[in-house]
Amino acid sequence: MKIAEKAWKIFNESIRDYHKKDDVDQPVRNPYPPDSLEHLFYLKNWIDTVQWHLEDIIRDPDIDPVKALEIKRRIDKSNQDRTDTVEYIDSYFLNLFKDVQALPGAKINTESPAWALDRLSILALKLYHMDEERKRKDLSPEKKAEVEEKYRILQEQYRDLSTAIDELLTEIEEGKKYMKVYKQMKMYNDPELNPVLYGRKNK
Which pLDDT belongs to residue 191? 77
Which residues of the chain fall short of a pLDDT of 70?
184-189, 193, 196-197, 200-203
Count Cβ atoms within 10 A of the Cβ of residue 182 and give its class: 0-12 exposed, 13-18 middle, 19 or more buried.
exposed
Using alpha carbons only, give the angle 196, 49, 41 rounded to the nearest 5 degrees: 100
Q: Quote the CA–CA distance of 148 and 157 in Å, as a whole number.
A: 14
Which pLDDT belongs to residue 200? 63
Which pLDDT belongs to residue 181? 81
Q: Quote the CA–CA distance of 152 and 133 in Å, as a whole number.
A: 13
The answer to pTM > 0.85 is yes
Secondary structure (3-state) at 23: coil
Using alpha carbons only, give the angle 14, 147, 160 rounded to the nearest 5 degrees: 60
Q: Quote the CA–CA distance of 121 and 15 in Å, as a whole number.
A: 10
Which pLDDT belongs to residue 199? 73
Residue 22 sits at φ, ψ, to 5 deg, of 50, 55
pLDDT digits (tens, 9 = 90+) for 24-59: 999 999 999 999 999 999 999 999 999 999 999 999
